[in-house]
Amino acid sequence: MGKKGKRDKKGKGAEKTLAKMEKKVSRRAKKEEEDLEALIAEFQSLDAKKTQVIESSCPPPSPRLNCSLCAHPERDELILFGGEYFNGQKTYLYNDLYIYHIRKNSWAKLDIPNPPPRRCAHQAAVVPTAGGQLWIFGGEFASPNGEQFYHYKDLWVLHLATKTWEQIKAPGGPSGRSGHRMVACKRQLIIFGGFHESARDFIYYNDVYAFNLDSFTWSKLAPAGMGPAPRSGCQMTPTPEGNIIIYGGYSKQRIKKDVDKGTLHTDMFLLKAEGTGKEEERWSWSRLSPSGVKPTPRSGFAVAAAPNNRCLLFGGVHDEEEEESIEGDFFNDIYFYDIGKNRWFPAQLKGPKSERRKRRRGRQAEAEAAGGEELQLPPPQGPLEIVKEVVAEDGTVMTIKQVIPGAAADKDRSGSEEEEEEEEEEEGGALGQPVEPCPRSSAMVAVKHGVLYVYGGMFEVGDRQVTLSDLHSIDLHRMDQWKVLLEMDPKTQEWLEESESDEEEDDDVEGAEGGEEEEEESSEEESEDEEGEQQHPAVQPGEAQAQYMARTEQYWLGLARSHMGPEAKDKKVLKVAHAMAKTFYEDPV
């Protein structure tokens, strides 16, 4: 009884502290949000000029982060909404809606009157009701300089059959937040966690809300038991029984003035629904202790439901926080969690069929050569990772990883095998050189017909952020190889140094608006004023290849030296460096 009493007292104390912090953050954020409300209202007035639904074929979406990507519940389509883009000086916010047609491998832009305001770090969930509905809650709007934030607490639904947006105004919902998680579960939308941030303060949440999709009413849940600590960016997965699984996430706390300490959570919880179907549904928290191989600690990972009663985790970043800097280790791996067995395990790519057949034949030949004696087989040779790096105009090095499977056993192949390889080459790239998504965090993922689609994300090199817009897919049943549906060359990524930002302080409204047409108009005006000035300073398309390679010769020498070792002669290192550079620029990723 004594221990339980102390636990209860400690829990109540934490609730009081959280309530005080929430009032403090709310007070300080009120002035910021009032300033931004006027800006948001101006953008909404522009959106109100749209009077009809227009769907048009278009190029792929521009690079962006923290948007939502969902699979259409009835069609072979993916739905992308919102997001943000930062170019080193400005933050651009979006509220555009894109449709990816899976069978055609093509994009369409869908302009619908009265959409939700521009936002990022929101949550979206689809339900199959009335031809399909896309529900969106919360998220944030940032000032162009990234120093002020407005956190939404609004709820919207996109009726996919009629292509109409509708804002649902119901009292009693969660406070404004971003980085939360939301899932559709048994005719309810369940929301957990998230954070609210102002210029000086922040607060993380661990509350749970449910929105009833039949009565359109909010309710705040009060689960029994000890639940997860406050956090954002966690994994939230519904089970077939109507329960909710929470894993991981990130939070930070202030340890002294102007010093914050981040925490990567690796714990796992089950939010169990008790008395399902009764008037008063009760919930309870319990801690899970899964078996198997858990994901390494990370934040910024993406999650999705997978076939065979599993969910998956992709990518993320583990930040090493130093006193004055943060170095990130980015991932591109997949982990599966088996809900029924309560077990984690890493995904293993099997490789193309012809490659697997060669490995089997090689083992059989070795067994026969051993005269039937028991043969101790060496472990299978792992994939060879080739690292290609791009040196931008400012000297920043960006890394791209390419994975090549182990060497084939024999070059003699039958005609049928060659035909199979040609087919596989058409489907997923040249045989023996499958390209996987480069390591990244904050990728957007969706699963349709057992196929995982990974769109965009970001990685960092020093102080530079590279925002991606590529699209990859992998069959989760076969797990043979990644397919590249849309490539992106990071060399084309615009990046403006902070020292240049003073020149563009007057462009705040344009930057926050994030409109593509506005960007095009501004670039046209700049080209009229100064002929020859390029829109993306990191890109030099007209520059001679020899000059570009000469500027980066020291980089290639260093890379060659690291491959060949310190004992290699300088002449050989120079020769290899030139060969590597020539190969890279003639055959870029």
pLDDT digit string, tens, across residues 46-81: 787 788 999 999 999 999 999 999 999 999 999 999
Secondary structure class of 274 (helix, strand, coil): strand
Residue 228 has a CB neighbour count (10 Å cut-off) of 22
Q: Are 310 and 339 in contact (CB under 8 A)?
A: yes
d(CA 144, CA 512): 5
How buried is residue 156: exposed, middle or buried, by Cβ count under 10 Å (0-12/13-18/19+)?
Answer: buried
Q: Are 185 and 125 in contact (CB under 8 A)?
A: no
Question: What is the reported pLDDT for 26?
Answer: 56
Question: What is the reported pLDDT for 198?
Answer: 78
Which residues have a Cβ under 8 Å from the Cβ of 11 and sit 6 or more positions away?
226
Whole-structure pTM value: 0.72
Furthest C-alpha separation in the chain:
82
Helix (H) or strand (E) holding 405: none
Going along the chain from its start, the domains and CATH numbers come out as 29-350+436-492 (2.120.10.80), 545-586 (no CATH)
How buried is residue 145: exposed, middle or buried, by Cβ count under 10 Å (0-12/13-18/19+)?
Answer: middle
Q: Are 154 and 37 in contact (CB under 8 A)?
A: no
Question: What is the reported pLDDT for 467?
Answer: 94
Question: Locate tokens 């509220």: which residue?
Answer: 95
Secondary structure class of 18 (helix, strand, coil): helix
Phi-psi region of 545 (alpha: psi -120 to 50; beta: other; left: phi over 0): alpha
Question: Locate tokens 């170095």: which residue?
Answer: 327
- DSSP code per residue over 213-270: TTTTEEEEE--BS--PPS-BS-EEEE-TTS-EEEEEEEEEEEEETTEEEEEEEEEEEE
Whole-number Cα distances in Å, 46 to 112, 330, 515, 522: 13, 39, 11, 18
Q: Are 77 and 61 in contact (CB under 8 A)?
A: no
Whole-number Cα distances in Å, 61 to 80, 320, 370, 418, 482: 9, 32, 57, 37, 21
Closest by CA to 92, choosing from 151, 36, 37, 143, is 143
Secondary structure class of 20 (helix, strand, coil): helix
Length in residues, the chain: 589
- DSSP, res 129: G
Question: What is the reported pLDDT for 434?
Answer: 56
Average pLDDT of adjacent 10-residue blocks, the chain of 589 residues: 48 56 57 72 79 93 95 97 92 95 97 95 96 97 85 97 96 96 96 89 94 96 96 96 96 84 94 74 94 96 96 93 70 96 94 63 59 48 52 51 42 44 44 74 96 95 89 96 88 70 46 48 41 35 40 54 60 68 49
Which residues have a Cβ under 8 Å from the Cβ of 451 and sit 6 or more positions away?
473, 474, 475, 476
Phi-psi region of 138 (alpha: psi -120 to 50; beta: other; left: phi over 0): left
Which residues have a Cβ under 8 Å from the Cβ of 490 and sit 6 or more positions away?
390, 398, 400, 466, 468
For the chain, state the CA radius of gyration.
Answer: 26
Question: What is the reported pLDDT for 323?
Answer: 56
Question: Locate tokens 């959106």: which residue?
Answer: 47
How buried is residue 377: exposed, middle or buried, by Cβ count under 10 Å (0-12/13-18/19+)?
Answer: exposed
Question: Locate tokens 């069609």: which residue?
Answer: 75
- DSSP, res 279: S
